[in-house]
């Protein structure tokens, strides 16, 4: 039996380096296609001539239709913050008139937006809270709201107001004002959670912010993309640290963050979670048997990776001297930190590696030579049988596409990799200028309800939808 004393004891490893200089980002309008970008040396003569021609044609079109030059913003980004050594990642949005900003967990594993209300008082900690009566545009929908996650509950009522993020605004977005939150669900400065999965999962039965934007063609391309940083193996990592970026409406604005092609895999069936068939998994090069047709939810709101007990046991059977952890870590396994564990996952044709640094979730105490592995046993009675959290997502550039409904992965660029573990300025909560505003479509019909019993630790923010 192994006593497990501390939760986030970190590796004491040294690191040096600075942020890599950003390379020039290529911007291409339209759909994100699976093609690598190449830069050519342009002939100055051609560029000048084509530029003049293009401007003339555009001026003519504007004249002909009597229109004005449209300044509609169709892509935007939000800087992410890495909280507690890769345990959670949050971004910033703004609510109300005048707009007030809130830090919210970015969660592709659920579909509701909620923030703590001022009526919550000290129970909601020291984070910013929303005071509905100080927003001139707030409307009380007076519908009770409650949601249960793997790690706690949130309760309150539904309201509607202007919600802004990444340069986009939805003028009547429904969300929950929460006045009861389980202990430990939020840590300062987080005030709530932004669900980035599909409307059929929404406990509030409201259309999620991202889905309203995608469905209203507010974006250049109907997708958002996420890059997450790794600080778990950095010496002197603080909390918070810069966490990466959430791009809305494009994956090309920051093509400097990935290389090669984006490999898309369609969501099989009705989208609810962002789920994909998990085709294969290897540990130290050995294949683990995966039940055919098993799906995996791609979940930025979960720290680690959960799967069926039989598969998790098979993973650790390939790691000498590993054993089931006990007590509060039941469902997890320990193994010697000196073992470098390589895991690869395949979705569709492509295979993606998980860095050994992400497999080594934590030392069990700061001086122990035993580590806790990132893969844990998940007991769900329905698909998705796997929850693929940040331990995987830190290793890829992830694209969440509305139409066709799919998830894409690409290799991170050296620019993105250079952001891992090197410190820097944590993005502050700011409300960017809004240049595209849309209205929310009417309330989302609940196509079906999912019932899961996700009980594992560190399954941070996968919603449990109760019938």
Ligand X SMILES: *[C@@H]1O[C@H](CO)[C@@H](O)[C@H](O)[C@H]1NC(C)=O
Annotated catalytic sites, by residue? Answer: 107, 299
Chain centroid, CA 107 distance in Å: 5
Q: How far is the CB of 19 from ligand X (least distance, A)?
A: 8
Q: How far is the CB of 142 from ligand X (least distance, A)?
A: 4
CA 456 – CA 441 distance, rounded (Å): 35
Residue-wise over 400-434: b if at least 16 C-beta within 10 A, else e?
bbbeebbbbbbbbbebbbbbbbbbeeebebeebeb
Closest CA to 373 of 397, 344, 345, 339: 339
Q: Are 384 and 296 in contact (CB under 8 A)?
A: yes
Element (H, E) at 312: helix 309-317
Name which of 146 and 443 has its Cβ closer to ligand X.
443
Residue ranges binding ligand X (CB under 6 A): 13, 15, 22, 25, 77, 132-133, 140, 142, 157, 172, 174, 233-234, 245, 253-254, 256-257, 260-261, 263, 350, 355-357, 411, 415, 419, 421, 439-440, 442-443
Q: How many CB atoms lie within 10 A of CB 46?
A: 9
Q: How far is the CB of 389 from ligand X (least distance, A)?
A: 17
Q: Which two structure tokens, joined as six digits, stand for 145?
A: 């709201």
Q: How far is the CB of 420 from ligand X (least distance, A)?
A: 7
Name which of 204 and 462 has its Cβ closer to ligand X.
204
Max Cα separation, the chain? Answer: 79
How many CA atoms, within 13 angstroms, populate the side-chain half-sphere of residue 268?
13
Q: How far is the CB of 138 from ligand X (least distance, A)?
A: 7
Q: Which two structure tokens, joined as six digits, stand for 131?
A: 């005071």
Name which of 396 and 463 has its Cβ closer to ligand X.
396
User: Which residue intervals of 66-133 are DSSP H helices?
Assistant: none
CA 291 – CA 42 distance, rounded (Å): 52
Three-state DSSP at 179 gives strand
Which residues, including other chains, have CB under 8 Å from residue 454's CB and lie 6 or more apart? 150, 306, 378, 379, 380, 387, 462, 464
Q: How far is the CB of 342 from ligand X (least distance, A)?
A: 10
Q: How far is the CB of 404 from ligand X (least distance, A)?
A: 19
Name which of 22 and 269 has its Cβ closer to ligand X.
22
Name which of 271 and 421 has its Cβ closer to ligand X.
421
Q: How far is the CB of 235 from ligand X (least distance, A)?
A: 6
Closest residue to ligand X, based on beta-carbon distance: 260
Q: Which two structure tokens, joined as six digits, stand for 117?
A: 């209300």
Residue linked to tokens 């469902």: 331
CA 276 – CA 16 distance, rounded (Å): 37
Q: Which two structure tokens, joined as six digits, stand for 394?
A: 């830190």
Name which of 111 and 411 has its Cβ closer to ligand X.
411
Closest CA to 413 of 5, 21, 144, 79: 21
Name which of 20 and 308 has its Cβ closer to ligand X.
20
CA 461 – CA 446 distance, rounded (Å): 20
């Amino acid at each position: 039996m192994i006593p497990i004393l501390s939760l986030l004891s970190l590796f004491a490893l040294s690191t040096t380096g600075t942020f890599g200089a950003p390379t020039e980002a290529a911007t291409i309008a339209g759909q994100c296609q699976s093609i690598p970008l190449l830069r050519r040396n342009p002939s100055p003569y051609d560029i000048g001539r084509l530029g003049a021609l293009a401007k003339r044609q555009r001026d003519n079109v504007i004249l002909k239709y009597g229109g004005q030059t449209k300044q509609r913003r169709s892509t935007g980004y939000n800087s992410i913050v890495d909280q507690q050594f890769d345990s959670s990642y949050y971004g910033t949005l703004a609510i109300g008139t005048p707009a007030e900003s809130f830090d919210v967990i970015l969660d592709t594993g659920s579909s509701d937006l909620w923030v703590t209300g001022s009526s919550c008082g000290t129970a909601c900690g020291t984070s910013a809270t929303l005071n509905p009566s100080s927003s001139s545009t707030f409307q009380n929908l007076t519908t009770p709201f409650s949601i249960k996650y793997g790690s706690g509950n949130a309760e309150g009522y539904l309201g509607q107001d202007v919600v802004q993020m990444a340069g986009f605004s939805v003028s009547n977005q429904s969300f929950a004002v929460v006045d009861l939150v389980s202990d430990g669900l939020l840590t300062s400065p987080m005030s709530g959670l932004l669900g980035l999965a599909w409307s059929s999962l929404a406990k509030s039965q409201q259309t999620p912010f991202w889905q309203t934007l995608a469905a209203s063609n507010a974006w250049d391309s109907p997708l958002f993309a996420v890059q997450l940083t790794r600080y778990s193996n950095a010496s002197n990592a603080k909390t918070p640290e810069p966490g990466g970026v959430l791009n809305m409406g494009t994956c090309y604005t920051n093509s400097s963050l990935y290389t090669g092609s984006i490999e898309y895999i369609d969501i099989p069936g009705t989208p609810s979670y962002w789920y994909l068939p998990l085709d294969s998994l290897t540990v130290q090069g050995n294949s683990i048997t995966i039940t055919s047709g098993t799906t995996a939810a791609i979940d930025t709101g979960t720290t680690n990776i959960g799967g069926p007990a039989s598969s998790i046991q098979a993973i650790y059977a390939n790691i000498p001297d590993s054993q089931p952890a006990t007590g509060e870590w039941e469902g997890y396994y320990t193994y010697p930190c000196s073992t470098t564990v390589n895991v690869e996952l395949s979705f569709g044709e492509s295979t993606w590696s998980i860095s050994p640094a992400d497999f080594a979730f934590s030392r069990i105490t700061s001086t122990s030579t035993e580590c806790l592995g990132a893969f844990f046993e998940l007991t769900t009675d329905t698909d998705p049988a796997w929850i693929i959290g940040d331990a995987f997502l830190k290793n890829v550039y992830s694209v969440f596409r509305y139409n066709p409904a799919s998830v894409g992965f690409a290799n991170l660029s050296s620019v993105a990799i250079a952001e891992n573990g090197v410190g820097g300025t944590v993005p502050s909560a700011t409300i960017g200028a809004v240049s595209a505003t849309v209205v929310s479509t009417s309330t989302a019909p609940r196509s079906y309800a999912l019932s899961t019993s996700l009980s594992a630790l560190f399954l941070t923010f996968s919603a449990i939808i109760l019938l």
